[in-house]
Chain A
Amino acid sequence: MSPAIEIHNLLVTGTDRCRLDVADFRAEPGTLLALMGPNGAGKTTLLHACLGLATVARGTVRVLGTQVETLSAADRARLRRRIGYVPQILSARGELPLTVREVVAIGRTARAGCGRRLTREDWQTVDRWIDQLGLSSLAHHSFGEISGGEQRKTILARAMAQEPELLLLDEPTAHLDLGWRERIVETIDTLHSQTRLGVILVCHELEVLPVACRHVVLLNQGRVAANGTPESVLTSQSVSALYGARFQAVHQHGRHAVIPGGGAHD
């Protein structure tokens, strides 16, 4: 079975803020891998390179066995249909009349084919994921009227309704309160254990890593700084050095956290 993502000698120079220079990166199929690092480290750019949204200056990116950077526009669209993507920034157009059910149905749009209507089976898939993520009571509410956490779940349901072979989550808990953050982490954990879907999770906080995440790649200034288990990569020293402040990393029962100002030793 080919790796979910395989990157060699990649150079992306398209954006001012972030230059991505990755010698080797590999995500095995079915694993939950966390991509961490400070702001501007290149995490989102790496996801964009996987989706064929970034201009690759050098190197190769293979996703689900397909080389991305040489694909035609039509083939790139075909590959993207196999990838569920939850972006960092959501649509802020609160006045839109789209319901939660309609937003989740966007996940079926590309799969159904251009110019074809969604079938009864498509809508059943949409309703199944709405139900699975606990959104049934909100299905006919406007997306703009529900809370930030519910919006995140809706976008996650949209990605899952796509029936993807790989899930790319870009800071799915950003701007959420502690309760919603934990609910989203549990949802990701459950989704992964139920589907064995390959998940790449971009996040800043150690608390967001689900129990199932046993592989962390640390990016810094566009390069891979560390690669391994959460306990080996996210030490007090590495986190303190990376973020330029004193932190103590705590690992307990498969979950992880940092305590500010807690010293530079495990």
Chain B
Amino acid sequence: MPSSPAEVRMIDLLFWAPVMAGGALAGASSGMLGTFIVGMRIPFLGVCVAHAALAGAVFGSLAGLAGPQLLLPALAGAMVTSLSLGLLNPGHARLDDNTVLSALFSATMGLAFLGIGLHGRYGQSDHDVRSLLWGSLNFCRWRDVWLMLAATAALLIYVVAFFKELRAILFSRPLAEASGIRATAVWTGFLVLTAVTLTVNLQTVGGLMIYALINNPAAAAFQLVRGCRRALLWSAGLGAFSGLGGFLLAALTDLPSGAVIVLVSSALLGLATLLRHR
């Protein structure tokens, strides 16, 4: 038993350390993704991939998988959505990316809720898959953090390796293609890593928080800095700040951590917009 208040604080800190690390990592990786996703004006991708992962997990659960095993079908669902969007040629398809995302979102959400309904019919518990929708940051453990760290590292390596190609795609995918850049291959690779990162983050922060962490830090960075590299760094930094700062603020005020993280990221965007227009 801890004998002093300092010892109690240390035990608290050790207990909450993976939660703080998870929040910061989810924010940083989502912020990094957001630079390109918001720049391409497809912020809805985050919600869409999250629901596709949820649909995959739901059917994985129906097939008898549970706990960490659900990650594989969730990843498969997210991959199918990302690949569909990545391989779609904007020059040939007569559909805007956001229209495709809306169609994919409605289809995957329909599948997810169909699967959840089937759980009741077959008398199975849907607790594991429901927690994916909302996330459970306070239950994040070191095992989850290592997984998130691996996904973030893979994303970082890819972004550094293909930074100049991603920058060209961000400016204009058709122009990048016309300049001899393998835009479809590079963009599809990025979307695959988006699927991996978001699926791994999903179990910790949930689908709704992912949306905020993709959109708000990147949009705030775009308000504050010039240059793609700087925007990427600022977006990742503001994302990490939202995740970590939001959690600490929630702990201090005894408020729900997910809601506070979302509100902190929204406040950062509001502040950045005010600063830009001063």
A interface list, Cβ under 8 A from B: 51, 53, 73-74, 77-83, 85, 87, 90-91, 93, 95-99, 102-103, 105-107, 109-112, 114-115, 117-118, 140-143, 162
CA A114 – CA B114 in complex, angstroms? 43
Stretch at the interface among B11-19, B44-52, B166-174: B166-174
Q: Of the candidates B161, B167, B172, B180, which one forms a contact with A81 in the assembled complex, judged by CB atoms under 8 Å apart? A: B180
Q: Of the candidates A95, A106, A115, which one forms a contact with B175 in the assembled complex, judged by CB atoms under 8 Å apart? A: A106
- Would you mind naming 29 contact pairs between A and B with Cβ atoms under 8 Å apart? A53-B177, A77-B182, A78-B180, A80-B178, A80-B179, A81-B180, A83-B180, A85-B178, A87-B174, A87-B175, A93-B41, A97-B39, A97-B222, A97-B228, A98-B171, A98-B228, A99-B226, A99-B227, A102-B228, A106-B164, A109-B164, A109-B165, A110-B180, A111-B180, A114-B182, A115-B162, A141-B226, A143-B171, A162-B179
CA A90 – CA B175 in complex, angstroms? 9
CA A62 – CA B240 in complex, angstroms? 52
CA A143 – CA B231 in complex, angstroms? 14
Q: Of the candidates B179, B186, B226, which one forms a contact with A107 in the assembled complex, judged by CB atoms under 8 Å apart? A: B179
CA A209 – CA B171 in complex, angstroms? 29
Q: Of the candidates A110, A112, A114, A142, which one forms a contact with B226 in the assembled complex, judged by CB atoms under 8 Å apart? A: A142
Within 8 Å of chain A (Cβ to Cβ): is B91?
yes
Assess whether B167 is in contact with A102, with CB atoms less than 8 Å apart. Answer: yes
Q: Which residues of B in the span 176-193 have a Cβ within 8 Å of any Cβ on A?
A: 176-182, 186
Within 8 Å of chain A (Cβ to Cβ): is B208?
no
Which of A79, A83, A97, A105 counts the most B-chain CB atoms under 10 A from its CB? A97
CA A140 – CA B228 in complex, angstroms? 11
B69: min CB distance to chain A, Å: 34
Which of B91, B164, B168 counts the most A-chain CB atoms under 10 A from its CB? B164
Assess whether B164 is in contact with A96, with CB atoms less than 8 Å apart. Answer: no
Within 8 Å of chain A (Cβ to Cβ): is B225?
yes
**CB nearest neighbor in B for A82:** B180
Assess whether A118 is in contact with B179, with CB atoms less than 8 Å apart. Answer: no
Q: Of the candidates B161, B167, B181, which one forms a contact with A98 in the assembled complex, judged by CB atoms under 8 Å apart? A: B167
CA A135 – CA B227 in complex, angstroms? 17
Assess whether B178 is in contact with A53, with CB atoms less than 8 Å apart. Answer: yes
A125: min CB distance to chain B, Å: 14
Assess whether B175 is in contact with A91, with CB atoms less than 8 Å apart. Answer: yes
Contact A91-B226, Cβ < 8 Å, known A78-B180, A96-B39: no
Assess whether A110 is in contact with B170, with CB atoms less than 8 Å apart. Answer: no
CA A106 – CA B179 in complex, angstroms? 8
Within 8 Å of chain A (Cβ to Cβ): is B230?
yes
Chain B: interface size category: 20 to 34
Closest 7 CB pairs of A and B: A81-B180, A80-B180, A110-B180, A97-B231, A91-B172, A106-B168, A77-B180
Assess whether B179 is in contact with A81, with CB atoms less than 8 Å apart. Answer: yes
**CB nearest neighbor in A for B229:** A102
Assess whether A140 is in contact with B175, with CB atoms less than 8 Å apart. Answer: no
Within 8 Å of chain A (Cβ to Cβ): is B57?
no
Assess whether A117 is in contact with B170, with CB atoms less than 8 Å apart. Answer: no
Assess whether B162 is in contact with A114, with CB atoms less than 8 Å apart. Answer: yes
Contacts of B182 in A (CB 8 A): 73-74, 77, 114
Within 8 Å of chain A (Cβ to Cβ): is B132?
no
Contacts of A97 in B (CB 8 A): 39, 221-222, 225-228, 230-231
Interface string of B211-245 (1 = CB under 8 A from A): 00000000101100111101100000000000000
Which of A77, A106, A117, A142 counts the most B-chain CB atoms under 10 A from its CB? A106
Assess whether A79 is in contact with B172, with CB atoms less than 8 Å apart. Answer: no
Known A96-B39, A107-B179; further 14 A-B contacts with Cβ < 8 A: A53-B91, A77-B180, A78-B180, A87-B172, A87-B175, A91-B172, A97-B222, A103-B171, A105-B164, A109-B181, A111-B180, A114-B181, A114-B182, A143-B171
B225: min CB distance to chain A, Å: 6
Contacts of B230 in A (CB 8 A): 97
CA A82 – CA B179 in complex, angstroms? 8
CA A83 – CA B177 in complex, angstroms? 12
Q: Which residues of B in the span 227-269 have a Cβ within 8 Å of any Cβ on A?
A: 227-228, 230-231
